[in-house]
A and B are shown apart, each in its own frame.
Chain A
Amino acid sequence: MTLTEAPAGYRVRDRVAETRDTVTLTLEPVSAALPGPQPGQFTMLYAFGVGEVPISVSGPAGLPVLTHTIRSVGAVTRALCDAAPGHLVGVRGPFGTTWDEADAAGQDLLLVAGGIGLAPLRPALLAALAARDSYRQVTVLIGARSPSELLYTLELDRWRTAGARVEVTVDKGDAAWRGDVGVVTQLIRRAEIVPDETIALICGPEIMMRLTAQALQAAGMTADRIRVSLERNMQCGVAECGHCQLGPLLLCRDGPVVSYRVAETLLAAREL
């Protein structure tokens, strides 16, 4: 894979508005499909003439059809969020390391998602539910800013039916909200973690991931059983532009999924 290669053309098949600023696009290849991404990986999505951004895959793994959940924060993501079915976007990838949720086979799998962090975790959850019998407990703890910013709300009950325990909390409720209010770490006690028989996957804002990992460690988990998904400025996706460095890691190649054993000291350093 090289930067000299232009993005492959993918057509938008479906567009779902998840929240007021977040959209999930399903993309199908115009001609040859790129290798199907694994849970945790990302692609570089290109809006013609506007630019390219790294977006984690947020749908079922290994398929030629790509699913991406995109938050509109700048010119490129705005263009992608505005793309209607039939519109063409460019794709490079997939890149990066994977969640390796199958490591939890025979044990408990815990996913902790903060905000849009649920999107990169969704492929790991779907893969685990498709092979539900391989795992003991599958638990998903979801934190969001408010009820209107929850993602995939129509799927939560399907996940429960498929055998996942799903707990949701918001930072701020609204008039209609009857669920939990509080930070997502406050749900950890409910997960009834068996510390040395659990693999935890965490994704969300960096501070949220650190606090969650600390809370899991306080509950007895060791850092090597905890994985986080890290982010830095990414441009080439192929480890040659230098932007995505985090200490010794080039996150497009050594991440985004990183063991907390490695991530802990890196995240503790200021401005690294």
Chain B
Amino acid sequence: MDTSAPGTAWRLPAVPGLNDLVSALRSDGYRVIGPRADGGAIGLGEIESAAELPFGYGVELAPGGYRLRRRTDSAAFGHSAGPQSWKQFLHPPRERLWSARRSETGEFAAEPADPDARPLAFLGVRPCDLRAIAIQDEILGAPRHPESGYARRRAEVLLIAVNCTEPGETCFCTSMGTGPRAEAGYDLLLTELSGPGEHEFVAWSGSAAGEAILASLDLRPAAAVTVGTADAAVDAAAGRMGRVMQADGLRDLLAQSLDAARWDDVASRCLTCGNCTMACPTCFCTTVQDSTDLTGDHAERWQSWASCFELDFSYLHGGPVRSSGVSRYRQWLTHKLGTWHDQFGSSGCVGCGRCIVWCPVGIDITEEIAALRAEQDGAGTGDLP
């Protein structure tokens, strides 16, 4: 299968190459964010050197289950579905939008929030997460909201994607058309090859910025056989997905399933804890909070992550519109896989599987969708005689 990445494929030797890459990024002024093994999970945080990457760590994933495990090789990116996604950096959990001071005449002028100090470089963005960023761009980013904090941060972020060669037990990116190969939207793209006696990356650039970084690393082109092995590994990953979701027609299925019995079934398990919305890389809902100091003359507006599972998320006229757990679970799944199409022109799900892993009761949306389909296919009309 042809590589879909344009341009030359470069060889990046694993440890020295990554070290050089991280150094080059830092000396270009980037804060490098990458995966780190931390507290029993692989989260995302700032790294100062490639040594902080989780070499040799893999994961065991299950509905409601996540364990780190030791790999037999030293792959840095051989894991998936960590509890965090890149959205916490582009769309922070708490952000001050503006602060304002009120004069004696009652007039107020707002000062926008301080810009971030240094641009970010994301090292190790999976194709599913790359698509998630593109999805959030559509909602929060420049075309619709050119002055937003998201747009500012997004304009400066450097995206280093890593093709997937090891899907997890809960992954289904192929079903959602988002992986295992990254197609577009990256500055640099890597495929990791690790096995007995070898550990290297094939690297492609996807933008002028990526081109410049690669040029500064003094790399040699990758051998054709290496590129072939890399491509084959990614192709093979497509056949080893842990889950499948039949994704076509979901918009209509969910629109027609508002009264399905299955919602009561899943609601009897769902705790409405909202973990899924926190872990999901595309969930974007926020709450706006206005506050003032004791004098009443200094006010601030903050934005923080919200979840449609919160009881008062839909508060209106004295109470929530969506009061029952049934209605709130239905809202989340119907939005993610159905009405997102109406609102933003694509699915909201990228098949990363985080919601399955991080649900404390192990609700699996691939199973829920299959059940909704089955219910619709087998549906009687409920007509009276």
| Interfacial residues, chain A to chain B (CB-CB below 8 A) | 2-7, 9, 30, 46, 48-52, 73, 86-88, 90, 231-233, 235-236, 238-243, 245, 247-250, 269-272
Contact = CB atoms under 8 A, between A and B. Distances in A.
B292 A48 contact: yes
B148 A2 contact: yes
A184 B303 CA distance: 41
User: Which of under 10, 10 to 19, 20 to 34, or 35 or more describes the interface residues of B?
Assistant: 35 or more
A234 to B, nearest CB: 9
A270 B327 contact: yes
Interface string B219-263: 000000000000000000000000000000000000100110000
Interface in B308-345: 308, 313-317, 321-324, 326-327, 331, 334-335, 338-339, 342-343
Given A2-B147, A4-B98, A6-B110, A236 B288 contact: yes
A7 B107 CA distance: 11
Contact of B107 (A9, A240, A269): A9
A5 B147 contact: yes
Chain B binding site: helix, strand, loop or mixed by DSSP?
mixed
B288 A88 contact: no
B306 interface: yes
A241 B316 contact: no
Nearest to A234: B316
Given A239-B144, A243-B313, A271 B321 contact: yes
Contacts of B214: none
Contact of B291 (A7, A49, A235, A242): A49
Interface of B: 97-98, 100, 102, 106-110, 112-113, 139-140, 144-149, 255, 258-259, 284-288, 290-292, 296, 298-299, 301, 303, 306, 308, 313-317, 321-324, 326-327, 331, 334-335, 338-339, 342-343
Given A235-B287, A240-B140, A242-B284, A272 B321 contact: yes
A51 B284 CA distance: 22
Contact of B288 (A73, A86, A241, A272): A241
Contacts of B107: 9, 30, 88
Contact of A240 (B255, B284, B322, B335): B284
